[in-house]
Amino acid sequence: MQEDRALDYYLNRAFQRLDLPDVASEIKVERVYRQLAGELISKLTPKVMYHEGELKLKLSSPALKQEMLMRRESLMQKMNESLGGNIVRRVTLL
């Protein structure tokens, strides 16, 4: 766990120096989404994109898309709790 934090720290510094802070955020947001979603839902989410507060999820199941529409606010709240701030401000389902 401590090794993960050290790696996050050095990656964030490198991205900031290269003026790429969004890349680090996108990687972190996708990792948190996949942890919260679990294995099955992750498999049904072939693409996770994040940019400037918007989380875009490409879902391969119409039934899952309908379920996520109803749980969008809850997902956003759980994501922000895990990320430690108001990082995800909107969830778009594709």
**Domain coordinates of the chain in residue numbers?**
2-93
* Range 2-93: architecture per CATH: 2-Layer Sandwich (3.30)
pLDDT tens-place string over residues 41-87: 999 999 999 988 899 999 999 999 999 999 999 999 999 999 888 88
Q: DSSP strand E in the chain: where? A: 47-51, 54-58, 90-93
6-22: pLDDT as tens digits: 777 776 666 566 555 56
pTM of the model: 0.75
pLDDT digits (tens, 9 = 90+) for 21-48: 565 678 889 999 999 999 999 999 999 9
DSSP 8-class letter at 86: S
